[in-house]
Amino acid sequence: MKYLLISVLTALLLSANVLALRGQQVTPQDVYSCFRALNVSDLPFLINAYDKGFKDRRITPSMALTLCQRLAQSAAPIGLREGVLRVIGLALIEELPVTMLVDKALEGLAKGVALEAINDELAQRKATLSEVKALFAHKGIRISLTIRFGAVTLELTLEAVDAAITEAARALEDYVRAGQRIEDATAIKATVQRYLASNRAIPVTLVSFIEQIVSAPEWAQLAQNVANRLKK
Amino acid sequence: MHEHELEQLIKETIVQRAQAHQDRIADLEYRVVDALPDRPAALELRPTWPMRLALATAAILLFLGGFWLGGTLSDGPPCADPYVLCLVYPNAKSVSLVGQLTHWERQPMHGPDRHGIWWIRLPRDLEPGRYEYGFMVDEYHWVHDPRAREFVHTFDNKINSVLIWPPSQGDAP
Amino acid sequence: MGEDELKLIRRSLDGDKNAWGEIVKRYKISVFGVALGILGNPADAEDAAQDAFIRAYQGLHTFHLDKRFSTWIFAITANLCKNKLRRDRLLAPLKYITRATQSHHNPEAQLAQDQRSQTMRDALDQLSPKYRMPLVLRYYGDLEYKEIAEMMKLPEGTVKTRIHRAKSELKRLLEQKGVVGHART
């Protein structure tokens, strides 16, 4: 009887703990409730896109909720606020990494940048992510690829490939936005490699692999595309 | 004549005029560099014995005085600590750290101390990586960190400072 | 500002004179243009440009890296020009009138692309410096009204009025010379 009482009490305490933890964790439902509260015009699209993002582990419910809550604090028309969620939703459907986009949206909101400008910037950066992803795919860099480098064998994870796409796109955007020379392909490639090396989620083997198989003119072409988009 | 035609003509006229005389400034960079003063160098003193004695006495007095002054001097912001970000902005009413480190939320900084320094301590478990950040002064004024080693251009052509963590040797945080 | 330009400025702050030489190389033509636009005399503009770069190097620690470098260096140039004009006005009040009437004999006249530019140049010379300076900074230096107002220590409204009056006066002078039709604005 005594042991039974102890077991029941332990079970009760454990389940209380689990419930408390669950209470702290953000669920996709919390995110959708926030979308609903924003009165977005195309809720099914957003739910569909973000649901895919959560399942693919490209965005966490906590990240999405933070973004939604910050958008809720903005005084801009709902169309513009929904635009931010929509661009990121489109990226999730296209299986692009979205950390840079969420980050830029939060940055813009924190600095009080006009939402039109934030939306433009997100659209431009999404295009760059898409082009880097296409270039990597063309070179055979994709999830589950096994790279053999001498004695080292590495199987690429989604996290590593997404981080590499993000850093390369960020490097190209930063390079062009700083007004540096688009003709200097070597400098562009060096910048990309430096950004790749700075992110611990990208294995060193992958950084070296990219250095070997993506040429400077290929990076320069993407930088040129970034510059063309910025001119528009 | 339309307004924009007139404005264009003003600009073109000055451009043409400057170009017509540009031989005058062909070697300007060399002339400027020759005329530049040296940055004020540290005072060079050849210590004599009396001076050494005076310095030693002053050092002892300062050391003892330090104890007497107690914690007041040591309470200043530890800006040399790589885990501390500092900004000198004496006239600010408030300064916040904003960036990837704070998920772009405003994190109020301590300060100002009597030298106008604002500071904030970074988390001890900071993951290695690149972090963009800046300081929001008086709620709306975006200011970069002059001690940062890298910068990127961002919205409205303003500048974000970049923190490379862990800092390489000899780098400011 | 490009990252390499930021690096050049940082190196200059550390006392690297060659880095500053590179900055001078990049900005000399536009700084010279501002000075020439305001002063109207190439020799004076050359001196002003040289002084501006030396002053800027000495005061580089006051430059905010998140601002446009061009705005800052143009402000220094414009201030030097303003001082020069003030000094000259005290010493030789007739100098500018003489210069304006002499400008037809200037060798640069041969390089003017068309009569409109030449007439505009003469018209600019005839403007009083207090009107010419904001005009040059706005349309050649590409500065905002607010920046010009800060630099000239005038209310923004006054700067706008001066630019408006300067443009009206230029239009009048151009019409007088018959190079443009009457205003349609």
A195 contact B CB<8A: yes
Query: Which among B10, B13, B146 has the least Cβ separation from residue C65?
Result: B146
Strand partners, B88: B117
**Given an 8 Å threshold on Cβ–Cβ distance, is C45 in contact with B159?**
no
Q: For residue C3, which residues of chain A lie inside 8 Å, CB to CB? A: 175, 178, 180
Site from A180, A184, A195 to mutate, C interface, most C CB atoms within 10 angstroms: A180
C3 contact A CB<8A: yes
Torsion of CA B27, B29, B34, B39, to 10 degrees: 180
Exposure letters C98-110 (e unless 16+ CB within 10 A, then b):
eebeebeebebee
Rounded to the nearest 5°, which phi and psi values hold at B145?
Answer: -90, 110
Provide the residue-wise pLDDT of chain C in tens; the chain has 185 residues. Answer: 665 788 888 888 888 888 899 999 999 999 999 999 999 888 889 999 999 999 898 888 888 877 788 888 998 999 889 888 877 766 543 333 333 333 334 444 444 446 777 788 888 888 888 889 999 999 888 888 888 898 888 899 999 999 999 999 888 888 887 766 554 43
- The complex scores an ipTM of 0.82
Q: Residue A80 is which amino acid? A: L
Query: Which residues have CB under 8 Å from C39's CB, separation 6+?
Result: C45, C48, C81, C84, C85
Angle of CA points A127, A133, A134, to nearest 5°: 90
B49-83: per-residue pLDDT in tens?
555 666 566 666 555 554 444 444 445 678 888 88
DSSP category for residue B79: T
CATH of domain B84-165: 2.60.40.10
| Cα–Cα separations (whole angstroms), residue C31 to A113, B133, C38, C39 | 32, 33, 11, 12
Domain residue spans in chain C? 1-93, 104-185
Give the per-residue pLDDT at A18: 43
- Which residue's entry shows tokens 């035609």? B5
Give the per-residue pLDDT at B146: 83
Torsion of CA A34, A37, A39, A41, to 10 degrees: 30
Query: Which among B129, B136, B155 has the least Cβ separation from residue A117?
Result: B155
Q: For residue A200, which residues of chain B lie inside 8 Å, CB to CB? A: 127-129
Site from C10, C41, C58, C66 to mutate, B interface, most B CB atoms within 10 angstroms: C66
The rounded mean pLDDT for chain A is: 88
If you average pLDDT over residues A143-153, what whole number do you get?
Answer: 73
Per mean pLDDT, which range of A1-10, A178-187, C113-122 is the poorest? A1-10
Name the minimum distance, in Å, from the CA of C1 to any CA of chain A.
Answer: 6
B123-162: per-residue pLDDT in tens?
888 888 889 999 999 988 899 888 888 889 888 778 899 9
The rounded mean pLDDT for chain B is: 78
Q: Which residue has the higher pLDDT, C104 or B112?
A: B112
**Given an 8 Å threshold on Cβ–Cβ distance, is C117 in contact with B16?**
yes
Tell me the two tokens of residue A141: 């860099």
Query: Which among B106, B129, B154 has the least Cβ separation from residue A107?
Result: B154
Comparing alpha-carbon positions, the chain A residue that sits nearest to B142 is: A111
**Given an 8 Å threshold on Cβ–Cβ distance, is B129 in contact with A66?**
no
Closest among B7, A48, A165 to C170, alpha carbons compared: B7
CATH of domain C104-185: 1.10.10.10
- Is the pLDDT at A207 greater than 50, yes or no? yes
Helices assigned H by DSSP within B39-170: 49-69, 71-74
Cα–Cα distance measured from residue B7 to residue A182, given in angstroms and rounded to the nearest whole number: 31
B55 contact C CB<8A: no
Residues of A with a Cβ under 8 Å from any C Cβ are 175, 178-180
Tell me the two tokens of residue B87: 């900004």
Query: Which residues have CB under 8 Å from A184's CB, separation 6+?
Result: A220
DSSP category for residue A139: T
Site from A62, A104, A107 to mutate, B interface, most B CB atoms within 10 angstroms: A107
**Given an 8 Å threshold on Cβ–Cβ distance, is C50 in contact with B28?**
yes
State the CATH class of domain C1-93: mainly alpha
Maximum distance among all Cα pairs of chain B, rounded to whole angstroms = 81
Give the per-residue pLDDT at B60: 62
A49-65: per-residue pLDDT in tens?
999 999 999 999 999 99
Per mean pLDDT, which range of A103-107, B123-127, B165-169 is the poorest? B165-169
Give the per-residue pLDDT at A180: 85
Question: Predicted confidence band at A223 (pLDDT cuts at 50, 70, 90)?
Answer: very high
Query: Which residues have CB under 8 Å from B3's CB, separation 6+?
Result: C167, C185
Domain residue spans in chain A? 17-122, 139-232
Cα–Cα distance measured from residue A99 to residue A95, given in angstroms and rounded to the nearest whole number: 12
Q: A204-207 contacts: CB < 8 A, separation 24 or more?
A: A205/A147, A205/A149, A205/A152, A205/A154, A206/A141, A206/A147, A206/A154, A206/A156, A206/A160, A206/A164, A207/A164
Cα–Cα distance measured from residue B28 to residue C31, given in angstroms and rounded to the nearest whole number: 11
User: Are the beta carbons of C88 and C48 closer than 8 angstroms?
Assistant: no
Interface of C with A in 18-47 (CB under 8 A): none
**Given an 8 Å threshold on Cβ–Cβ distance, is B1 in contact with C46?**
no
Give the per-residue pLDDT at C185: 36
Q: For residue B162, which residues of chain C lie inside 8 Å, CB to CB? A: none
Which sign, positive or negative, has the C-alpha torsion C4, C5, C7, C8? positive
Give the per-residue pLDDT at B53: 66
Q: For residue B13, which residues of chain C lie inside 8 Å, CB to CB? A: 117, 120-121, 124
User: Are the beta carbons of C118 and C112 closer than 8 angstroms?
Assistant: yes
For chain C, list the contacting chains (3+ Cβ pairs, <8 Å). A, B
Q: Which residue has the higher pLDDT, B44 or A72?
A: A72
Angle of CA points B14, B18, B19, to nearest 5°: 115
- Which residue's entry shows tokens 């500065």? C143
A174 contact B CB<8A: yes
| Cα–Cα separations (whole angstroms), residue B112 to A3, A82, B91 | 61, 40, 9
Question: Predicted confidence band at B44 (pLDDT cuts at 50, 70, 90)?
Answer: very low
Interface of A with B in 111-150 (CB under 8 A): 111-113, 117-118, 121
Give the per-residue pLDDT at B156: 74
